[in-house]
Amino acid sequence: MNKHYDYIVIGAGIVGAATAQRLSQQYPQAKIAIVEKETAAAQHQTGRNSGVIHAGVYYKAGSLKAQYCREGLEKTIEFCQRFNIPYRQCGKLIVATSNNELERQQTLFEQCHANDLQPTWLNQQQIKQHAPAINGLQAIWVKHSGITDYPAITRQLLALAEQQGSEVIYSAPVSVIDEAQDRVTVEIGGASPCTLHAECVINCAGMYADRLIQSAGHSIDYALLPFRGEYYRLAARHDNIVQQLIYPVPDPELPFLGVHLTPMIGGYQTVGPNAVLALGREAYSKSQVSLTDCHDMLTFKGTAPLLKRYFTAGMAEVRDSLFKTGYLKRIQRYCTHIKAQDLLPYRAGIRAQAVNADGTLEHDFVFVRTERCLHVGNAPSPAATSALPIAAAIVAKLA
């Protein structure tokens, strides 16, 4: 196969699907292909997260994260309503269980106001009124947050793109992007290698976005490192333990939000995730190891300073990953009803976290633009919530 397209979108996660749908809507005569290395869409970060529709609590006002998340909240709900995709705007309690967390809460409360979320303070008694099973000294109530089915949204976005004439090509791992003056060549590996050509390529490859940027001949001063988020499903007796999202107060020094309690679409509850540096970009279990990925991590100059900076926190994550008792203690800080036997196996996810060469974490979205390519270089949470605004921004950058 040797085909030519106007646009090739790499990756059929939610950001790639939203981008393809936006392109097909804006340019209905364009020939568009979405290439995906898996046999189906939304197999990685999109299909392995907690399904939360974020409201913008944690993001500094004026950042791309805050902007896209706030827009994405409303657009995601509108999309779900339009296409009858399940969602629930159940709200979120951010619960403080220690005095030092009370100080951090104040910053979150102010950020909520800056992002137009109208938060409410709850005391101990009011927490019990909202969620009888939850203990805390104080909580922030954010009514806007919700839950949905992101793989279902992704499939609907791809279906809309296909209705406009776009083509989705599965089992098509991209090995190389070669950008020339007059066109871009995309080499497909795997069982059926082929060459595709396009006027423009949009790289939405998630965990592999940095490698594709480098394959295109561009030097970047960061790498995407894989952090495994491990979840548990609660025993059926706890299916209705809460109706809202329950979050701890996060450590502001870390990019992760802590182990939270989530009433999932489907009527069950999960807890998670933690954040453990994985030994592979698709190492969803503790036993999975990729020698290539480990080599890349060990030789990346930002890994050592990252591990040094977060050594104590990282060791705590590893400990609680290995021993259920440590994980359980995190949950029991705000919900003592949950016992060890209630933590049942559930699928893990991998978060692609951009780490700079000096070991610092890149918290915001990163785009790398060239003459004929646009690379989504870093799309951390809340990328799923923000997918529709991100797609609009990508298409605007291509104009």
Q: Please state, in angstroms and rounded to a whole number, the distance separating the CA atoms of residues 175 and 178.
A: 10
* Predicted pLDDT at 141: 98
Confidence bin at 61 (pLDDT 50/70/90):
confident
* Predicted pLDDT at 190: 86
pTM score: 0.96
Q: Provide mean pLDDT across the span 323-343.
A: 96
pLDDT in tens, 7-51: 999 999 999 999 999 999 999 999 999 999 999 999 999 999 999
* Predicted pLDDT at 363: 86
* Predicted pLDDT at 257: 84
Helix (H), strand (E) counts: the chain: 11, 22
Residue 285 has pLDDT above 80, yes or no: yes
* Predicted pLDDT at 1: 62
pLDDT in tens, 231-262: 999 999 999 999 999 999 998 777 688 899 99
Average pLDDT, the chain: 95
**How many beta carbons lie within 10 A of that of residue 21, not counting itself?**
29
Q: Give the pairing type, strands 92-96 and 2-10.
A: unpaired
The CATH number assigned to the domain holding 102 equals 3.50.50.60
Q: Provide mean pLDDT across the span 141-145.
A: 97
* Predicted pLDDT at 315: 94
Which structural domain, as residue segments, surrounds residue 202?
Answer: 2-398
Helical axes 150-163 vs 14-26, angle rounded to 10°? 30
Residue 203, CB-side half-sphere exposure with 13 Å CA sphere: 33
Q: Give the pairing type, strands 138-142 and 167-169.
A: unpaired
- DSSP code of 110? H
The torsion of the CA quartet 291, 297, 298, 301, rounded to 10 degrees, works out to 160
Residues 81, 83, 85: CA angle, nearest 5 degrees: 70
* Predicted pLDDT at 24: 97
pLDDT in tens, 194-217: 999 999 999 999 999 999 999 999
Confidence bin at 53 (pLDDT 50/70/90):
very high
**Count of structural domains within the chain:** 1
Structure-model confidence comparison of residues 55 and 191, the more confident one? 55
